[in-house]
Structure 1
Amino acid sequence: MFKKNKLSVLAAILSCIMFIFSGCNGTGGTTANNKTQSKPKVVVSFNAMREFASAIGKDKIDITTIIPNGTEPHDFEPTVKDLKTLSNANVFVYSGLGMESWKDKIINSVGNKNLIVVDASKGISPIKNTANDEIKEHGQYDPHVWISLKNAQIESKNIKDALVKADSINKDFYEKNYINFSNELNDLYNEYNKKFATVTNKNFVTGHAAFAYLCRDYGLKQNSVEGIFAEGEPSPKKLEELVNYCKQDNIKTIFVEDMVSSKVSDTLAKEVGAKVEKIYTIESKEDNKNYIQSMKSNLEMIYNSLK
């Protein structure tokens, strides 16, 4: 989450180093007229975008992730190194809808006129935030669009189109990989669409409210210990409501995410006689799983909790 003081610090850093990059332009992508060009340099904001870009670009691209694994994207602040990396990139991929609040400042500051900028969420129907404080602080939309197999198809297509633009020689390679990845997403979606249709209970509880798009895919409903942006522990009133919710809906599993404290979730689980299980937001690389593996694990865990 960017506070006002963080924005001020970033602005100061940018103003001090802009001259470093003023003469630095992107190297441009590989084209039919430049067959000796090196691999396109693709910079992505965080792990989920890396998963999509890697699935399509594979060994034809040189990929760098700005936000390190284990770092909460909502709280991230770009560094001078990140700015220099972007100044030499051919493609920059971000997820959008407020997930990377810093992206406009660094894009405008690096002076890379040849940079292909990809808003991976373009074309996705966003879910609006409902809490006034979250709208004021972060914007009007829930940014966790990638935790949805349907949205993953859209985001990966946007990335594929950018790679084709940057490296037209390998167009057929990128197109083929996108089709294969899209088919994997479809197969996984269809498998669990059938499974979720067999359960009457549609409610589950997570550490923070990051799964709204997954819920939309399958007609499920999440309740959470923390809000969309995982900011702070719930009030005693909220915790009491969660206890009642879990008891009324026979919740037997409380899901927790790697980068959100499990303290309150553990307390809640103990109070209602539930178990605590790990679920993936895919913001960071976890347990050496790729996107398909992480989503399959999520879906299977949720499905089992609803049976």
Structure 2
Amino acid sequence: MYKRIISILMLMCSLVTFSACGNASVNSNNKVADKKESHGKIQVVVSFNAMREFAEAVGKDKVEVKTVIPNGVEPHEYEPKAKDLEDLNKAKVFVYNGLGMESWVDKSLKVINNKQLVVVEASKGFESIKNTDEGEIKEHGQNDPHAWVSLKGAEFEAKNIKEALVKADPSNKDYYEKNYKDFSTQLNSLYNDYKKKFDTVTNKNFVTGHAAFAYLCRDFGLKQNSVEDVFAEGEPTTKKMEELINYCKQNKIKTIFVEDMVSPKVSDTLAKEVGAKVQKIYTIESKEDNKDYIQSMKSNLELIYNSLK
């Protein structure tokens, strides 16, 4: 808690400093930088990799996208730097997931000087899955934020991003509409392929490193059990570990899935206890193995499907 308070105080100091410098710069030049000046492309800032995937799928070569949270960094606890705020001050569109994923958004938007910025909460309007753990609710809010780890969630979020791009750049509306339609077609094709596959298996249970796959489970009628909670915090207690071992044995779990940025140690131990193998699965919070969103989700679905056969 002490470290978190210090982190917040440091951020507030950097925000105040940046705001003062930014306002001085604007006042001295008597103008705001052109938000569409880089080779004619719309300047888009996104919170993390999955939002970048969707923004680029819809915007393609009409947008230039900058990502706030670097690959390999856990998004739940990130605090923006002065450079991130500078990028927001120059952008035409800002995309973030929402549902409690990016705790820094509101305070960051309050201090930048960019009245033209089109802000889109990509998950806004999507039917969320509620957290049940009291500690998670107190720390992070009511909602599971991982809507993008779902083909239906991705389609919904891409639509919101498309509408934001149209608002920011109405002259290219048809272009964004076409790209969104193409992306939506890919998502639905993948969904239909795996809906048929998952309907053929009787076992619907799989185990992951942290509980990031509830929306994917909702898409296909599956059930996840996880080593760590929704926000990848804390190793399981001895009691929880015993429950996981029993769960794996009762449900004939053959694979323990582990994600990037989640410690594999407990998953490895669990796999040894129940005679399962460990395989990598993607949350798409970071770009991994040079795969795009469709490739990452296809890999996830194929691995999960094979583990249930």
The question of 1:226 aligning with 2:256 is answered no
Unaligned runs of 5+ in 1: 31-35
Change over 3 Å in CA distance of 1:295–1:19 after alignment to 2:
same
Partner of 2:182: 180
2:35–2:90 contact (8 Å) kept in structure 1:
no
Partner of 2:5: 4
Change over 3 Å in CA distance of 1:26–1:136 after alignment to 2:
farther
Distance in 2 (CA, whole Å) between partners of 1:111 and 1:136 is: 31
2:50–2:293 contact (8 Å) kept in structure 1:
yes
Which of 127, 130, 151 is equivalent to 1:128? 130
Partner of 1:238: 240
- The percent of aligned pairs where both chains have the same amino acid is 68
Distance in 2 (CA, whole Å) between partners of 1:6 and 1:220 is: 38
Partner of 2:267: 265
Displacement of 1:29 after TM fit? 5.6
Moved segments of 4+, more than 3 Å: 24-30
1:127–1:141 contact (8 Å) kept in structure 2:
yes
Two-structure CA RMSD over aligned residues (Å)? 1.6
Displacement of 1:195 after TM fit? 0.5
Number of residue pairs the alignment of both structures matches: 302
Unaligned runs of 5+ in 2: none
Distance in 1 (CA, whole Å) between partners of 2:239 and 2:176 is: 51
1:89–1:115 contact (8 Å) kept in structure 2:
yes
| Per-residue CA distance 1:100-150 (angstroms, 9 max, x = gap) | 000011111111111000000012001111000000000110000000000
Partner of 1:285: 287
The AA in structure 1 aligned to 2:305 is Y
Distance in 2 (CA, whole Å) between partners of 1:77 and 1:101 is: 8
1:95–1:121 contact (8 Å) kept in structure 2:
yes
Partner of 1:195: 197
Distance in 1 (CA, whole Å) between partners of 2:156 and 2:4 is: 31
Displacement of 1:68 after TM fit? 0.5
Mapping 1:72-151, distance limit 5 Å: 72-151=74-153
Distance in 2 (CA, whole Å) between partners of 1:236 and 1:281 is: 26
Partner of 1:33: none
Change over 3 Å in CA distance of 1:29–1:154 after alignment to 2:
farther
Distance in 2 (CA, whole Å) between partners of 1:238 and 1:149 is: 30
Change over 3 Å in CA distance of 1:124–1:25 after alignment to 2:
farther
The question of 1:27 aligning with 2:31 is answered no
82-91 vs 37-46, which moves further: 37-46
Displacement of 1:26 after TM fit? 6.1
Partner of 1:16: 17
Distance in 2 (CA, whole Å) between partners of 1:286 and 1:194 is: 27
Instruction: Tell me the SS of whatever aligns to 2:94.
Output: strand
State the TM-score, normalized to the length of structure 2: 0.95
Change over 3 Å in CA distance of 1:26–1:295 after alignment to 2:
farther
